[in-house]
Structures are given as C-alpha cells and as structure tokens.
C-alpha cells in the first residue's frame, strides 16, 4: 500500500520571539519630579521652623493635660444651651439646603432640564462648593449681623453645592426601567420626574440630607468662632482668655453631642437604605 503523496507536512516555524518594547518612563518621571518640586516649594514658602517640630508632642500633651485633667463643669448648663443653639443652626441650615437644592439638583440632571440650564446650575453648584462656610458667614455678617441666623443661613447656602450635586448624580445613576415605562405611556418630563425618578432617588436624597445635617453639626462649631453664635462662640471666648479647663469641658460637650447625633442619624440612614433594598427585592420577586 503506497502512502498518500497528497498529505501536507507541517514544519515547525522557526524564528525569534518578539518582545514588546519597554514603555517609556519619561513622562511619569517628569510628573514625579514636578510633584516633588511643588511639595518642596510649598514647604519652603511656609517658613516652617524645623527646630520647633520635636517640641510639638510635648506641647500637645501639656495642653491636653490643661484641658482634660480637671475640666470646669460650672459652665455646663450654658454650654448645653449653646450646643442646642448650634444644633438648631445645623438643622435649619440642612432644611434650607434641602428645600433649595432638591429642585435645582433635579433640573441639573441629564434628561430632566435643558442643556443650557444644566450647565448654569452645575456651574453654580461648583462655585458654591469652592467657597468655605466660614467665608460665606463672614460675608453674611455684614448683612444679618452677629446672630445664629447668620450661621444657619451660611450652612444652608454652603450645603446647596454639595447637596445639589448629590441630587443630580443620584438621578442620573437611577435605573431607566420606570422612566422608560412612563415615557412609553405618554408621560411628559415633569410626569417622568414625579412618578419614576423621584420614587427611585428619594431614599438616597433623604440619606444625603441627614448626612449633611451631621456635617452641619461639626461646622456650626467652627462658624461660632467668627461670631455666628453657638458653642463655637464660647470656645473662641474661653480660648482667648486661656481658660483651658473650661475649653476642655466645651470640647467634651461637642464631642459627645456630635457622636450621639451621628449615631442617631446613621441609624435612620441605614433604616432608609435597608427599606429601599427590601422594596427592590420585593419588586424583583
């Protein structure tokens, strides 16, 4: 039996294995050198006294001992009153922030507001986020005076930028199923927003609003340093007079109150989000 002469023989290919070229490290090195130069220039511009740095731990320990070794509890009733004033400022500021930022944030979302309005609102939110609460309070002091209302107004205005951004990002990340169903039924943009988008993002927006309230509690103490009232004003006054035992008591009140408010607000936020997940599982089942 003769072998089949038509069978092709496959010979192994010979040749060297091509190694890809090594990526250039020129631009990463230039970027690293540039960042290092900026850090060194910033440190040189601050005129830091490097000889005093080793003494910082001992100074901090000394002041901590002055404040917390024997706190002065005689001013506790007034401290609690001022702390309640700071909480009121934070709460009013959070309400003002939500009332203004929710409708504006919804108009800034893609698919809700027109392109020109979205650009204006997002630019406005970015400008507000760039200005610290203290600067806003200082500007408002010339109009409203040294009152707690100034602090509440400053917290409300400062929170609009962040809360508005959270609102339109939540709307844009929402699932499209409900929106498409309302549009298919002939719904307008307002009806899609009311019956599809708002039910989907309302729990997230409420959670963000509570989180903003937590932030306002901490910020209200800082605003008191510029004369906006609350516990911050007491901290500023007693710090200027170097009454460290009273300052320590005030810091304890601020820390304990902030932790309690954070725990309560965190529990409410978890309940809201867990309820949202339960409803989603019920709909999917």
Considering the domain boundaries, does residue 98 fall inside one? yes
Considering the domain boundaries, does residue 185 fall inside one? yes
Considering the domain boundaries, does residue 191 fall inside one? yes
Average pLDDT over all residues of the chain: 81
pLDDT digit string, tens, across residues 2-17 = 555 555 555 555 556 6
Tokens of 193: 């927003």
Considering the domain boundaries, does residue 113 fall inside one? yes
> What's the domain range around 259?
73-284
Tokens of 254: 């601020």
Q: What is the CATH number of the domain that holds 137?
A: 1.10.3720.10
Contact 240, 214 (CB under 8 A): no
Cα distance between residue 262 and residue 252, in whole Å:
15
Compute the radius of gyration of the chain from its Cα atoms. Answer: 30
Considering the domain boundaries, does residue 21 fall inside one? no
* Number of compact structural domains in the chain: 1
CA angle 227, 228, 234 (to 5 degrees): 65
Considering the domain boundaries, does residue 202 fall inside one? yes
pLDDT digit string, tens, across residues 54-92 = 888 888 888 888 888 888 898 899 999 989 988 888 899
Q: Which residues contact 93 (CB under 8 A, 6 or more apart)?
A: 151, 152, 153, 154, 155, 156, 158, 159, 216, 220
Cα distance between residue 127 and residue 125, in whole Å:
5
pLDDT digit string, tens, across residues 159-211 = 998 899 988 888 888 776 666 666 667 666 677 776 667 777 778 888 888 88
Considering the domain boundaries, does residue 146 fall inside one? yes
Considering the domain boundaries, does residue 65 fall inside one? no
Cα distance between residue 265 and residue 257, in whole Å:
12
Cα distance between residue 231 and residue 250, in whole Å:
8
Global pTM value: 0.72
């Amino acid at each position: 039996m003769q072998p089949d002469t038509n069978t092709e023989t496959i010979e192994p290919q010979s040749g060297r294995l091509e190694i890809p070229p090594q990526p250039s490290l020129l631009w990463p090195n230039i970027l690293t050198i540039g960042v290092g130069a900026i850090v060194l220039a910033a440190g040189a511009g601050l005129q830091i006294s490097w000889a005093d740095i080793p003494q910082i731990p001992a100074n901090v320990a000394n002041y901590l001992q002055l404040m917390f070794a024997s706190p002065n509890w005689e001013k506790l009733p007034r401290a609690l009153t001022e702390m309640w004033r700071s909480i009121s400022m934070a709460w009013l500021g959070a309400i003002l922030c939500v009332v203004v930022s929710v409708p504006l944030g919804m108009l800034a979302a893609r698919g809700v507001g027109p392109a020109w309005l979205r650009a204006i609102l997002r630019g406005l939110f970015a400008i507000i986020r760039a200005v610290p609460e203290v600067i806003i309070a200082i500007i408002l002091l010339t109009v409203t005076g040294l009152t707690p209302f100034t602090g509440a107004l400053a917290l409300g205005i400062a929170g609009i930028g962040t809360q508005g951004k959270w609102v339109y990002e939540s709307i844009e990340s929402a699932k499209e199923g409900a929106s498409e169903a309302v549009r298919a039924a002939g719904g307008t943009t307002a009806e899609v927003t009311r019956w599809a988008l708002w039910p989907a993002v309302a729990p997230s927006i409420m959670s963000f609003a509570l989180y903003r309230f937590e932030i306002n509690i901490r910020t209200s103490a800082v605003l008191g340093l510029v004369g906006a009232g609350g516990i911050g004003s007491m901290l500023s006054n007693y710090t200027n007079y170097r009454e460290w035992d009273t300052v320590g008591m005030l810091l304890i009140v601020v820390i304990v109150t902030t932790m309690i408010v954070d725990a309560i607000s965190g529990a409410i936020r978890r309940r809201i989000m867990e309820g949202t997940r339960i409803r989603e599982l019920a709909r999917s089942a």
